[in-house]
Structure 1
Amino acid sequence: MKATLVRTSLTGIAGLTLAAASLFAATAHAADTISVVTFGGAYEAAAKKAFFEPFTAATGIGFSTESYDGGLAKLSAMEQAKNPTWDLIDLESNDAITGCDEGLLRKIDRKSLGNTSAFIPGSIMDCAVAAMVWSTVYAYDTTKLKTPPTTINDFFDLKKYPGKRGLRKSPKVTLEWALLADGVKSADVYKVLGTPAGVDRAFKKLDTIKPSIVWWEAGAQPPQLLSDGAVVMTQAYNGRIDDAVHKDHKPFESVWDGQVYDFEWWGIPMGAKNGDAAAKFIVSASSAQSYADLTKYIAYAPPRKDAIPLIAKDRLNDLPTAPANFKHALQINASFWADNADQINKRFQVWLTQ
Structure 2
Amino acid sequence: MSLSKTLYEKDLYPEIENARETSYGADCLELVEDQYQRGLMDRRTFVRALGLLAAMPMASLSRPATAATQQLMIVNWGGISRPAYAKAFGAPYEAATGIKLEQDGSGPLPAKVRAMVQSGKVIWDLLDFDASKALVLDREGLLQPIDYDIVDRNKVYPGWAYHAGVAFYIYSCVLCFDASKFPNAKPNSWKDFWDVERFPGQRAMRKTPEGQIEACMMAAGRSIKDVYPIDLDLAMAKVKELKSHLVAWTTSAQSQDVLRNGEVTMCNLWHSRAGALYKESSGRFDWTWNQGLMNVDVWSVPKNNPAGPEMAMRFIAFAQDPERQVELLKLIGNGPVNPAAAALVPDDLKKFDPTQADHRAVQAELNPEWWNAPSGKGDKSNDTLAREMWLDALSS
TM category, shorter: 0.7 to 0.9
Note the C-alpha offset of 1:68: 2.4
CA distance in 2, matches of 1:249, 1:277: 45
Q: Which runs of 5+ in 1 are unaligned?
A: 1-24
Q: How many angstroms apart in 2 are the aligned matches of 1:109 and 1:46?
A: 34
2:269 & 2:85 partners in 1: Cα distance?
Answer: 22
Residue 292 of structure 1 corresponds to 326
Change (3 A) 1:122 1:341: same
CA distance in 2: counterparts of 1:80 and 1:260, whole angstroms: 35
SS for the counterpart of 1:154 is: helix
Q: Which residue of 2 aligns with 1:7?
A: none
Q: State the 1:60 CA deviation.
A: 1.7
Q: Which has the higher contact order (CA 8 A, sep 6+)?
A: 1
CA gap 1:289/1:135 in 2 versus in 1, 3 angstroms: same
Contact 1:259-1:330 within 8 A present in 2 as well: yes
The amino acid of 1:329's aligned partner reads: Q
1:16-38 per-residue CA deviation (whole Å, 9 max, x = no partner) reads xxxxxxxxx9959821x211111
In structure 1, what is the equivalent of residue 375 of structure 2?
Answer: none
Rounded to whole Å, the distance in 1 between the matches of 2:175 and 2:272 is: 12
Other-structure match for 1:190: 228
Q: Match of 2:332, SS?
A: coil
Task: Report whether the alignment pairs 1:62 with 2:100.
Answer: yes
Query: Per-residue deviation at 1:208?
Result: 2.8
Unaligned stretches of 5+ residues in structure 2: 1-63, 373-380
Q: Does 1:136 align with 2:136?
A: no
For the 8 Å contact 2:67–2:307, the answer to whether it is kept is no
Partner deviation per Cα, 1:76-133 (whole Å, 9 max, x = no partner): 222122121111111222211112111221111113233x345212211111111100
Distance 1:307 1:66 in 2: 28
**Equivalent residue for 2:362?**
328
Distance between the aligned counterparts of 1:46 and 1:344, measured in 2?
39
**Inter-CA distance 93–63: structure 2 relative to 1 (3 Å threshold):** same
The offset of 1:248, in angstroms, is 7.1
CA–CA separation in structure 2 for the residues paired with 1:120 and 1:269: 23
1:103 matched residue in structure 2: 141
1: distance between equivalents of 2:125 and 2:155?
26
Is the aligned partner of 1:228 residue 2:270? no
User: 1:176-197 CA deviation, whole Å, 9 max, x = no partner?
Assistant: 1111122112222213x2xxxx
Listed as ranges, the matches of 1:184-263 within 5 Å are 184-191=222-229, 193=230, 198-246=231-279, 251-263=284-296
Q: Distance in 2 between matches of 1:266 and 1:46?
A: 24
Q: How many residues align?
A: 321
Q: What is aligned with 2:158? A: 121
Letter in 1 for 2:385: Q
Equivalent in 303, 306, 319 of residue 273 of structure 1: 306
**Counterparts of 1:72-91 in structure 2 under 5 Å?**
72-91=110-129
- In structure 2, what residue type is equivalent to 1:254? W
- How far 1:318 moved relative to its partner? 0.4
Contact map agreement 1:106 1:268 (CA 8 A) in 2: yes
Counterpart residue type for residue 262 of structure 2: G
Letter in 2 for 1:343: L
**153, 159, 168: which one aligns with 2:197:** 159
Identity, in percent, stands at: 28
Distance 2:316 2:86 in 1: 13
- Assess, with a 3 A threshold, how the Cα gap between structure 1 residues 41 and 137 changes in structure 2: closer, same or farther: farther
Partners of 1:260 and 1:332 within 8 A in 2? yes
CA distance in 2, matches of 1:217, 1:281: 34
For structure 1, which segment, 211-220 or 67-76, has the greater mean C-alpha deviation from structure 2 after superposition?
A: 67-76
Instruction: Give the C-alpha shift of residue 49 in structure 1.
Output: 8.6
Secondary structure of 1:325's partner?
helix
Q: Structure 1 pair 188/248, CA: closer, same or farther in 2 (3 Å)?
A: closer
Residue 318 of structure 1: aligned partner: 352
* TM-score between both structures, scaled by the size of structure 1: 0.83
Which has the greater radius of gyration? 1
Q: 1:243 to 1:229 in 2, by over 3 A?
A: same
Question: 1:29 & 1:297 partners in 2: Cα distance?
Answer: 35
Could you tell me how far 1:166 is from its partner in structure 2?
0.6
Conservation of the 8 A alpha-carbon contact between 1:46 and 1:294: no
**Greater helix proportion:** 1
The letter of the residue matching 1:293 is E
CA–CA separation in structure 1 for the residues paired with 2:102 and 2:365: 32
C-alpha contact 1:142 1:252 (8 A) present in aligned 2? yes
SS in 2 for 1:39: coil
Work out the CA distance in 1 between the residues paired with 2:227 and 2:87.
Answer: 37
Q: State how far apart, in whole Å, the 2-side matches of 1:162 and 1:245 are.
A: 21
Residues 13-66 of structure 1 show CA distances to partners (whole Å, capped at 9, x for unaligned) of xxxxxxxxxxxx9959821x2111111179xx9999996332222112121111
The letter for the 1-side match of 2:255 is: P
Q: 1:227/1:285 Cα in 2 relative to 1: closer, same or farther (>3 Å)?
A: same
Secondary structure at the residue paired with 1:187?
coil
TM normalised by structure 2 equals 0.74
Amino acid at match of 2:343: P
Q: CA deviation at 1:134?
A: 1.0
RMSD of the TM alignment (CA)? 2.6
> How far apart are the structure 1 equivalents of 2:390 and 2:313?
41
